[in-house]
A and B are shown apart, each in its own frame.
Chain A
Amino acid sequence: MNDMSSDLRVRTMRSQLSRAQGLGAAGSGVSHWWTERVTAIALVPLSGWFVVQVFRLAGSEHATVVRWGGKPVNATMLIALMVLTFRHMQLGLEVIVDDYVHGRAHLPVRLAIKVGALLLGLFAVLAVIRLMFASARAPAA
């Protein structure tokens, strides 16, 4: 074990260039890891806000929910919550797929996660915008 450095220098699977660069296969693992953490931290206060809103709205009728969704602050927080949630979801699912899906299936599954997270996020943002329009149409109570 002690003199492995001299023994294995040539026989490792890594090229000298890759050893010098110190990066993994794609060189993008660090940003993936960091984005997962940063979105996670941002989601803590946003989720706390969401729990408070759920308590405010639980059992409410439709008009109350629409009025709530029409407030710019609520709409902003909702969009921030959902965009970060689905970005964090995408990053987490990608790690799971990297661990368990191998071979030819890997790339299409990774792409499907990206597409799914993007569409889900867009649908969520659109729902908030539609809620704002519904609120603008509703008669003032």
Chain B
Amino acid sequence: MQDVREALYVGQRSDGSLIRRPMSPHLQVYRFRLSMFLSIANRAAGVVSAGGAALGVLWLSAAANGPKSFARAQRVTGHPLGRLVLAGWSLAAVYHLIAGIRHLIWDSARRFDKAEINEDGKKTVIATLATTAALVGALFAVASSRKGKVTS
């Protein structure tokens, strides 16, 4: 051991014996991999989902405030920009759900080989996009069909 900082790189195996932990090179040294994108995307999706949940609480609060507040909330959810936010929230929540299920599978020490992770990563992208598109499309269709009926 030449450098005192190396003391921070000493870890333990599960049997208690000491081991020198590997030092990883900086991020830009690596070639881009889908798994690294999906990993950081899960964090981002978690943050966006939480932000969307906070907006959902505002919607609920508007409904509790009365018809006037609710009408304002409806103008937001009906506006193209509001719809874009709703679609983004859905995308983030769907991805965070699927990625979360993958994490639970990994926690049980399954599907953790490199080949399996790459294979599941592609399926995750497809499943996320398909589920989100179906969900958002159906939701907006239901919303607009019901709106026409209520006016009568």
A→B interface (CB under 8 Å): 1, 4-5, 8-9, 11-13, 19, 37, 40-41, 44, 47, 51, 54-55, 58-62, 65-66, 69, 78, 82, 85-86, 89, 92-93, 96, 120, 123-124, 127-128, 130-131, 133-134
CB <8 Å contact, A130 and B104: no
Contacts A5-B17, A93-B47, A96-B43; A58 near B64 (Cβ below 8 A): no
- Asked if B104 and A131 sit within 8 Å, CB to CB, the answer is no
Q: A13-B8, A127-B57 are in contact. Are A55 and B93 (CB under 8 A)?
A: no
* With A58-B143, A65-B63, A127-B64 as contacts: A120 and B18 at CB distance below 8 Å: no
CB distance from B50 to the nearest CB of A (A): 4
A4 touches B19 (CB 8 A): yes
Complex: how many Å from CA A19 to CA B75? 60
**B: which residues have CB within 8 A of A?**
1, 7-8, 10, 12, 16-20, 43, 46-47, 50, 53-54, 57, 60-61, 63-67, 70-71, 93, 97, 100-101, 104, 107, 135, 138-139, 142-147, 150
- Pair B20/A62 contact, Cβ less than 8 Å: no
Q: How far is the CA of A92 from the CA of B49 in the complex (A)?
A: 11
Question: Residue among A1, A9, A55, A127 with the most chain B CB within 10 A?
Answer: A127
Does the CB pair B53–A86 fall under 8 Å? yes
Q: Is the CB of A130 within 8 A of B50?
A: no
- Specify which of A11, A59, A78, A96 is in contact with B143 (CB 8 Å cutoff): A59
Known contacts being A58-B146, A60-B146, is A47 close to B93, with CB within 8 Å?
A: yes
B1 touching A11, Cβ below 8 Å: yes
Task: Provide 16 A-B residue pairs closer than 8 Å at the C-beta atoms, listed in order of the A residue.
Answer: A11-B7, A13-B10, A37-B104, A44-B97, A55-B139, A58-B139, A58-B146, A59-B142, A59-B143, A59-B144, A59-B150, A66-B63, A69-B64, A85-B53, A92-B50, A123-B57
Residues of B within 8 A of A120 (CB): 54, 57
